[in-house]
Amino acid sequence: MTRKFFGTDGIRGRTNTMPMTAAMAQRIGQAAGAHFLRGDHRHRVVIGKDTRLSGYMMETAMISGFTSVGMDVVMVGPVPTPAVAMLTQSMRADLGVMISASHNKFIDNGIKLFGPTGYKLSDEDEAAIEALLEVEPRLVPAEEIGRSKKIEDARGRYIHAAKLTFPPHLRLDGLHIVVDCANGAAYQVAPAALWELGADVTAIGVSPNGVNINEGCGSTDTRLLQKTVVESGAHIGIALDGDADRLIVVDETGAVIDGDQLMALIACSWKRRGMLRGGGIVATVMSNLGLERFLERQSLKLERTKVGDRYVLETMRAQGYNVGGEQSGHIILSDYATTGDGLVAALQVLAELVVAGRRASELLRQFEPLPQLLKNVRFEGGTPLETDGVKAAIAAGEQRLSGTGRLVIRKSGTEPLIRVMAEGEDEALVAEVVDSICDAVKAA
């Protein structure tokens, strides 16, 4: 199914450039609102956002769109994406909106939509909304225009919900945690939740100014977190991204622990506690082959999907799994949340750290990953993956890795990038294969 505006995680782009303009945000509000006007009850949409400057513009435009087609709007301010999903469901809203470009810099923004059950929209719903963008919206009579209001306790509601996922018999007393909130949506809730559970918290990336989100901090740039953990003698570091739906961890030595290792830890912990369903976990084609081999040794399965946490969740729901995610740190624990939740995933890791009584460096490295290399090649228009030169380079790379590794080539769903990933037992060979394909893409 070809979609014009929706990518793997909503609609995203450069602010004040199509489709991230105020006019388009208003139209998306009108189209999404019209699609979810079902039944004769008073309809409601929950709107949250991260801390980027353009959030004010996009929020105002979307409020205009929703109210013009008869939807009431509840604004919850800067909160994590999973908080919007949770609030949409708990407030019996018809639709939830998170205005965020996740891990991207402040110059970008995006729109993520959630249905009334708190799950991201299906491909069919997104296609229907795109179709409505092509037609003139049906504006309601003056007396039916929606109202908007802001609730002030949204962050407190989310903190309470997140804390409920932490085992009630455990506390974080004596644990020094550095948390990096990426100057993003979790800058208030994450340090508060950890402190309320008893941790000694050092918070960084908690001074958003509209333009510093994900800037030299957060899950996509862990250098500040690594430095702070080592210099402060902390037991562990936690890095969230701009909308706090992904998690990367740093152990006490400053080493980075990715989503694959965290999923392995949670899967084994939940299996031991009798909580794991589906006999394994769900991950994408980008997860390391070492994870797959580790799970096999634990008599657990790894079900792979295409890239995107929405596809991970679809497989989890269809096949009965309750743990899934991505190497990048999107971790979905469906017993507790309908989407990736960095704070909730972190609490599961911290619980295991408390129970084990071991150093993070000893506990968190569950398996030895195979050498893996990912490079991105930016392109401006066209379809480079369809050219003969790129096809030939990919075929040659697959042949060289046959039996010893994997090759994954894909177009990013959120940025104009071709992502080239290879892994295998021979690190030098992996690098040669990736470089040859990248060169072919650049030439195309």
Which one, of 159, 349, 336, lies nearest residue 250 by Cα?
349
Pairing of strands 331-333, 323-325: antiparallel
Q: What is the C-alpha to C-alpha distance for residues 256 and 361, in angstroms, rounded to an integer?
A: 10
- CA–CA–CA angle 316, 218, 156 (5° rounding): 70
Q: What is the C-alpha to C-alpha distance for residues 242 and 52, in angstroms, rounded to an integer?
A: 9
CB 414 within 8 A of CB 19: no
Q: What is the C-alpha to C-alpha distance for residues 101 and 49, in angstroms, rounded to an integer?
A: 10
CB atoms within 10 A of CB 204: 22
Q: What is the C-alpha to C-alpha distance for residues 347 and 263, in angstroms, rounded to an integer?
A: 13
Q: Is 102 a catalytic residue?
A: yes
> How buried is residue 402: exposed, middle or buried, by Cβ count under 10 Å (0-12/13-18/19+)?
exposed
Eight-state DSSP code of residue 298: T
Q: What is the C-alpha to C-alpha distance for residues 217 and 152, in angstroms, rounded to an integer?
A: 27
> How buried is residue 29: exposed, middle or buried, by Cβ count under 10 Å (0-12/13-18/19+)?
buried
The SS3 call for residue 264 is helix
Q: What is the C-alpha to C-alpha distance for residues 150 and 357, in angstroms, rounded to an integer?
A: 43
CB 301 within 8 A of CB 310: no
Residue 86 identity (one-letter amino acid): M
Give the active site residue among 102, 219, 269, 334: 102
Strands (E), 315-430: 323-325, 331-333, 372-378, 405-411, 417-424
- The set of catalytic residues is 102
